[in-house]
Amino acid sequence: MINNKLKTYNQSQHGITIEDISPSARAIITKLLEHDFQALIVGGAVRDLLLGMHPKDFDIATNATPDQIKNIFNKDCRIIGKRFRLAHVYHNREMYEVATFRGMAASSERVVKRGHIIKDNVFGSIDQDAMRRDFTCNALYFDIENANIMDYCNGVDDIKKH
């Protein structure tokens, strides 16, 4: 499933345009980029666009922490989650999930209570984040700056097979 080798697909290879991305998602990403953070569309939206479908939502992944996201978006942001904190950013009456890239937690870094992990806030890099995702197609990242898809886990090939 995972080969840990980044494949990059340009627009002529995948056909997705910047205009296919929700204007609100683009605005949120642009604001994060203006604050010198990485920010990309991730997961199901990229899969749906590759399949020619309209995504029901656009999730965003970034290297900004939830607190940094909150500082940028202020009243338009709400931090949620106990085990893994992420931000809900509101734009034009729509909510967008903005999650920080996750890394692998050493077992000593996890906070465990009565056999349940209650805190797992280990932030990481984009490639670490891709390795943690449940399906290869959820490890696809779309960059609005250049319309490239970044594929760490052969998700594009898996989509083509189905």
Asked, for residue 158, whether it belongs to a domain, the answer is no
Assess whether pLDDT exceeds 50 at residue 60.
Answer: yes
Decide if 46 is inside a domain. yes
| pLDDT surpasses 80 at 140 | yes
pLDDT(73) > 60? yes
Residue 2 located in a structural domain: no
Q: Which two tokens stand for residue 112?
A: 């465990």
Examine residue 128 and state whether it is found in any structural domain, yes or no. yes
Residue 1 lies in a domain: no
Give the tens place of pLDDT for each residue, 83-137.
789 999 999 999 999 999 988 765 544 455 555 544 556 888 888 878 776 777 6
158 counts as catalytic = no
pTM, whole model, 2 decimals? 0.86
Instruction: Give the per-residue pLDDT at 1.
Output: 45
Q: Does residue 159 fall inside a structural domain?
A: no
Asked if residue 162 is part of any domain, the answer here is no
Structural domain count, the chain? 1
Q: What is the pLDDT of residues 4-38, one digit of tens each?
A: 689 999 999 999 999 999 999 999 999 999 999 99
Q: What CATH number has the domain bearing residue 126?
A: 3.30.460.10
Residue of 20, 36, 48, 59 marked active site: 59
Q: Which one of the listed residues 57, 76, 127, 143 is annotated catalytic? A: 57
pLDDT of residue 131: 77
Q: Is residue 161 part of a domain?
A: no
Range of the domain at 86: 7-149
Task: Taking residues 61-84, report their average pLDDT.
Answer: 95
